[in-house]
Structure 1
Amino acid sequence: MSKRHCWSVPACTCCDRDTLALTGGRFDRRGFLAGAAAIAAAGLQRVRGATAQTLQAAKPYRIDIHHHLSPPSYVAAANARHFGEPLMNGWTVEKSLADMDQAGVAVAMLSITAPSLSVVSGEQARRLARECNEYAAKLVAEHPGRFGAFAAIPLVDIDGSLNEIAYALDTLKLDGIGLMTSYGDKWLGDPLFQPVMQEFHRRKSVVYTHPTAANCCVNLIKTLRPAVIEFGTDTTRTIADIVFSGNARKFHDIRWIFSHAGGTMPFLIERFARNSLIVPDARAAVPDGALAELKRFYYDTAQTSNKAAMAALSAIIPVSQILFGSDFPYRTSIDHVNGLRSAEVFTDSQLLDIERGNALRLLPRLSS
């Protein structure tokens, strides 16, 4: 007898909460796609673009949740292993401040970019994490009110991670933790990381994630850098792993931030929603449906401040969960300020929430 593939198994949609939420009670592919487009368009007021001159004249108020720094020790470690590149190597705090001032950004949340601590391992990774975090804390102290920071930890080293979490959050008073979306070929729902996730949950930590390319996928397409396709795909993989491993529900007090509008997740929402129908064992991980978990996460606008991406994200995720991000120095803040306005997806009040209000609710310290 031929093997039955899981996608060929019929399933009733009447009890699937995600399907009900997305389609009003009856699943229909065409209806879903039309409905998603309608949600994105209906009730959204169009706003006119703001000029750079107007932005510079206004008092800075924006909060950039996705802004990179390059500590000297990180640059040295990356270059030694041939990961260094000009934008990372050429970063300075003066360049960050100039970019922020041009776009009316009051506060930038600092984090190191990919490949993060994976350039080293063992004791070297612990030492590099400590040096990067102390450097970030120094910048926060030297520029009051202008910076916050997400601490780096050597996630595959559980004891080292737990020690650095305590030091970074309790001693350095950093604002949260920065992780990569994957480590080797393990994503953030992997059982190996559960002791660290338990600690994040206990502390109600803000955990910012930045994409990277997993070992499986670094050189899949020889003509493209991994950032072009793999970064968005890896973000999607780790979101799925957190949700369908049950970690999203088990460690529900972790406040996750995902870069680049959640990668390809908005475009795969139908598959996320139907996964527990096709794979019955997945239902235990998402008893309220995958969509309920996805709506609790935060997503930034870095490299996605355009009509297509923002319309797709806001069709399924509340505006309250969207945060302004620039990806400096790889893009500028003004790119994203102008991009969000020319996209004509959000109202003025929604833009204010995305660019400031939502971040303040997540990180109230920044209001001071």
Structure 2
Amino acid sequence: MTANECQLCGPGRRRFFTGLAALAASSLVGVPSVQAQTGTPVVAPGHDWIDVHHHLVPPGYMSQVPSDDAVPGASATPRRALDNWTVAHSIEQMDQTGVATSILSISNPGIWFGDNAKARKLARDSNEYGAKLVSSYPGRFGMFAALPLPDVEGSLLEIAYALDVLKADGIGLYTSYGNKWLGDPAFEPVFAELNRRKALVYTHPTTADCCRNLQAAVSPNVVEYQTDTTRAMAEILASGTASRYPDMRIIFSHAGGTMPFLIERFIGWARSPQISKNLPKGLKYELDRFYYDTAQTSNSVAMGALTKVVPDSQILFGTDYPFRTVVEHVKNLTECGVFDDKRLGEIGRGNALALLPRFRT
């Protein structure tokens, strides 16, 4: 494919493929060790970071989560990190690195474990606890509310309660439910309502039923999470959900999964008549509208690739706390060599403020 054929090649992005090769050939990822990040506080001067990928564990939540063997994808969840979560440690991590605000969300395995009534209660209890933290620590926390999907009716009720009563900053979804990915017709009423409300939608990867326990020695969080994010993105594009609901703003975790690496395949796929009819403004337009966080991708290769595909305005700071530390993400981003201080300011705070303007003060 030539540069002229590349639909995504705009100013500063025409050398995507050669640039990615150069990144890979240089320092492979440039991720400092965690051990080197636990001492002196790491702060990028002038950046009051906003972390859009920061998990919470409500009281009693873990007791509601069945054993790993009973929950699809739960074996990939480092339960120890969730068991040890505290509000105090979240704030300690934030303060060490100059993170002003973290937007809280429930990690996988999520809310729904086969019983709609129990899922509705767990979603409500989790959201009310999150709202209590937002109220108790003004300016320090925001919240992406949990839904009891695949229970669509219960999810519509929780959207109304979370946004109208609890004043949540947005809604959190998982990339798949069972063997249905976001964009599937089963979730159409939920997306229609989120679009009507012009909602901010945060997505978190999980493991679809199809792809559990494929390799005994390879945990799903190594490969499947990134892949599930890519599948959800592809489904949202292919189904026309993205173009049909232009007022809904979507954040994809972990730099968009494997999409940046697969961009050449995405371009060819999007040219087919079956897909292009659902992308009336083109693939580039939709990819440039999505948002992408830096959680577990704060290295030169991942960030270098992402910035060749989408503009900086679409990149948001995220840490995946408590599975990874806030400290290492700030250190990695500031030292990866991809961003200067001005760009770090946009990614660390400015872009999030465009979506979450209440945190300006």
TM-score range relative to shorter protein:
0.7 to 0.9
Evaluate the alpha carbon distance shift between residue 37 and residue 252 of structure 1 in structure 2; reply closer, same or farther with a 3 A threshold: farther
3-state SS, counterpart of residue 277 of structure 2: helix
Please state whether the residue corresponding to 2:318 is helix, strand or coil: coil
**What is the Cα deviation at residue 80 of structure 1?**
5.2
CA distance in 2, matches of 1:312, 1:60: 23
Matched pairs, number: 341
Larger Rg: 1
1:104 aligns with 2:126: no
1:188 aligns with 2:182: yes
| 2:42–2:96 CA contact under 8 A, matched in 1 | yes
- 1:241 alignment counterpart: 235
Paired position in structure 2 for 1:303: 296
**% identical equivalent positions:** 52
Equivalent residue in structure 2 for 1:203, among 197, 211, 214: 197
User: CA deviation digits over 1:238-263, x for unaligned, max 9?
Assistant: 00100111000001111000000001
Q: Which moved more, 1:287-296 or 1:99-108?
A: 287-296
Determine the C-alpha separation between the residues in 2 that align with 1:58 and 1:341: 10
Q: Corresponding residue for 1:19? A: 6
Q: Does 1:146 align with 2:140?
A: yes
Q: Deviations over 1:295-327 (max 9, x none)?
A: 100000000000000000000110000000011
What's the CA shift string for 1:90-136, capped at 9, x where partnerless? 10101101111111111000001011013342111101000000000
Q: Distance between the aligned counterparts of 1:230 and 1:246, measured in 2? A: 24
Match for residue 353 of structure 2 among 337, 342, 360: 360
Q: Partners in 2 of 1:228 and 1:114 — Cα distance?
A: 15
Q: Is the 8 A contact 1:18 1:274 kept in 2?
A: no
Closer/same/farther in 2, CA of residues 90 and 79 from structure 1, 3 Å limit? farther
Change (3 A) 1:55 1:20: closer
Q: How far apart are the structure 2 equivalents of 1:264 and 1:131?
A: 34
**Separation in 2 of the partners of 1:89 and 1:120?**
22
1:7 aligned residue: none
Q: Secondary structure of the residue that 2:203 maps to in structure 1?
A: strand
- Where do residues 7-86 of structure 1 align in structure 2 (5 Å cutoff)? 19-22=6-9, 33-34=17-18, 53=40, 55=42, 61-79=48-66, 83=74, 85-86=79-80
| Cα distance change of structure 1 residues 225 and 35 upon mapping to structure 2, 3 Å threshold | closer
**Does 1:231 find its partner at 2:225?**
yes
- What code does the residue aligned with 2:349 have? R
The structure-2 alpha-carbon separation of the partners of 1:68 and 1:322, relative to structure 1 and needing over 3 Å to count, comes to same
* Distance (whole Å) between structure 1 residues aligned to residue 54 and residue 332 of structure 2: 17
**Residues 112 and 149, structure 2, Cα contact 8 Å, conserved in 1:** no
Q: Secondary structure at the match of 1:266?
A: coil
**Secondary structure of 2:202's partner?**
strand
Task: Give the aligned residue type for 2:280.
Answer: P
1:22-75 deviations in Å (ceiling 9; x for gaps) = 399xx9xxx8623666899xxxxxxxxxx9746459677110000000012321
Which of the numbers 156, 163, 166 marks the counterpart of 1:162?
A: 156
- Give deviations 1:190-212, integer Å, cap 9, x for gaps: 00111110001001100000000
Give the alignment's Cα RMSD to 1 decimal.
2.7
Q: Counterpart of 1:308 in structure 2: which amino acid?
A: V
Task: Work out the CA distance in 2 between the residues paired with 1:160 and 1:333.
Answer: 33
Give the match's secondary structure for 1:292.
helix
Structure-2 change in CA distance of 1:20 and 1:152 (3 Å): closer
Cα offset, 1:280, TM superposition: 1.7
Structure 2 stretches lacking a partner, 5+ long? 25-36
Q: Which moved more, 1:137-146 or 1:111-120?
A: 111-120
Amino acid at match of 2:57: S
Alignment of 1:213-228 (within 5 A): 213-228=207-222
In structure 2, how many angstroms separate the alpha carbons of the residues matched to 1:276 and 1:299? 20
Which residue is 1:318 aligned to?
311
Where does structure 1 lack aligned partners over 5 or more consecutive residues? Answer: 1-12, 41-50
CA contact (8 A) 1:18 1:290 kept: no
Structure 1 residues 21 and 252: CA distance shift in structure 2, 3 A: same
Higher helix share: 1
Alpha-carbon distance change, 264 to 53 in structure 1, aligned in 2, over 3 angstroms: same
Tell me what 1:291 maps to. Answer: 284
Cα offset for 1:155?
A: 2.0
Task: State how far apart, in whole Å, the 2-side matches of 1:148 and 1:18 are.
Answer: 42
The one-letter code of the counterpart of 1:344 is G
Q: Taking structure 1 as reference, are residues 55 and 249 closer, same or farther at Cα in structure 2, changes over 3 Å only?
A: same
Range with greater deviation from structure 2 (152-161 or 229-238): 152-161
| Alpha carbons 1:118, 1:183 under 8 Å: kept | no
**Alignment TM-score, normalising by the size of structure 2:** 0.88
Please state whether the residue corresponding to 1:155 is helix, strand or coil: coil
For 2:279 and 2:144, locate their aligned partners in 1 and report how far apart those are by CA, in whole Å: 29
Q: Distance in 2 between matches of 1:95 and 1:271?
A: 42
Instruction: Letter of the 1:352 partner, please give it.
Output: G
**Contact kept in structure 2, 1:19 and 1:274, CA below 8 Å:** no
